[in-house]
Homo-oligomer: A and B are copies of this chain.
Amino acid sequence: MKPTIKDVARMAKVSISTVSRVMNAPETVAESKRARVLQAIEELQYQPNALAQGLISKKSNTLGVLIPDIRNPYYSDVIRGMEDAAKLLGYSLLICNTDRDEERLISYLENFYVKQVDGIIFASDFLRSSYYEAIQRLQFPAVLVSTSSTDFEIPSVQVDEEQAGYDAVRHLIEYGHRNIGMICFPLDGSVSGPPRYEGFVRALRENGLEQYSTCVEFADQWFEEAYEAAAKLFTKHPDLTAVFTASDEFAMGVISYLADQGISVPGQVSVIGFDNIRMAHIVIPKLTTIAQPVYQMGHMAVEKLHELITTGSVKVLRESVPHQLIVRDSTRSILSGNSTI
């Protein structure tokens, strides 16, 4: 017969509620008792019933994760970090693709509520007030990753998006480029669009290049969209010698467009990406990019959510993580002395 929590309590000579606490809040149980309980669990090969356990502890040890689309390699790196942290802390992850669709997202939140997840992580999307209200109404502890909110008091893990955009464009300027365009996320309703564009504009302005701030086209997420945006950008501005793209996926789309036009990167046009996704150092040409510590960001987001769930608050509300310029083969200096193609 399968052992029950009563059998464990009897063997360990403690109360049933102590066994329950060892499983759900071990830090509240004295070391000696905890050891006895764990030994009894092991000897009896006791497996708690997760559903019954949930009814006792009100914990499901499950976290809900909302990401725009798992096929984007940026998110799969973030999720890998989340998963490793979750495993360490004893959680499972329920991962859902929102497609940045409001209705779909709210329906997932309600599903998380039905499944009684302990908390949620919301990634890379603009936190609309309707989302925030749903999170409040359903009383979820929540953490944002690669996004943040100024309107609401909600913990987040993110790079300094504006400074990172500035650093990307400054790299192009230091390489002698003046005719610089951008492929950006939408300025309306996206998280990274506005600050990365602001970084682009600030770098242009500081160098007397304001006139290029209108050399910008937009894409949502995929290679193919960036390919189309590059077609528009270079049709309007054939004189550009460099492009800052808001993601490595966009950089790959732009480079693909230019290759199809017989324009070499970095020979004729330099391209700098953003994210340093896993394939950035393998594709041809290897991408110059702004690295985000994506795996660590996923890891930190789960740790922060765990802190929020277990203590009711977080020490640092808006966590800023460092970015880094990585120079590879997709950008080229055109300063005199380096100007041979």
A: residues with CB less than 8 A from B are: 47-55, 60, 62, 69-71, 73, 76-77, 79-80, 83, 92-97, 110-111, 113-116, 223-224, 227, 252-253, 255-256, 259, 278-279, 282-284, 286
Contact = CB atoms under 8 A, between A and B. Distances in A.
Given A50-B116, A55-B51, A114-B47, A80 B71 contact: yes
Contacts of A80: 69-71, 97
Given A70-B80, A73-B73, 17 more contacts: A47-B114, A50-B115, A52-B55, A70-B83, A71-B73, A83-B96, A92-B94, A92-B96, A94-B94, A223-B279, A223-B282, A227-B282, A253-B282, A256-B286, A279-B279, A283-B284, A284-B284
Given A76-B71, A252-B279, A255-B284, A50 B92 contact: no
Tell me the interface secondary structure of chain A in the complex: helix
Chain B CB count within 10 A is highest, among A55, A252, A283, for: A283
Contacts of A54: 51
Nearest to A48: B114
Chain B CB count within 10 A is highest, among A50, A77, A256, for: A50
A115 B60 CA distance: 8
A52 B115 CA distance: 10
A158 B284 CA distance: 31
Contacts of A256: 282-284, 286
A275 B53 CA distance: 42
Top 4 A-B residue pairs of the complex, sorted by shortest distance between their CB atoms:
A50-B114, A223-B282, A51-B54, A71-B76
B83 A79 contact: no
Contacts of A223: 278-279, 282
A76 B70 CA distance: 6
Contact of A47 (B93, B110, B253): B110
Contact of A283 (B47, B93, B252): B252
A54 B227 CA distance: 48
Contact of A71 (B50, B278, B282): B278
A283 B51 CA distance: 47
Nearest to A94: B92
Contacts of A224: 282
A278 B279 CA distance: 13
A115 B278 CA distance: 32
A116 B55 CA distance: 14
Contacts of A48: 114
A114 B57 CA distance: 14
A135 to B, nearest CB: 16
B51 A60 contact: yes
A27 to B, nearest CB: 21
A259 B77 CA distance: 26
A280 to B, nearest CB: 11
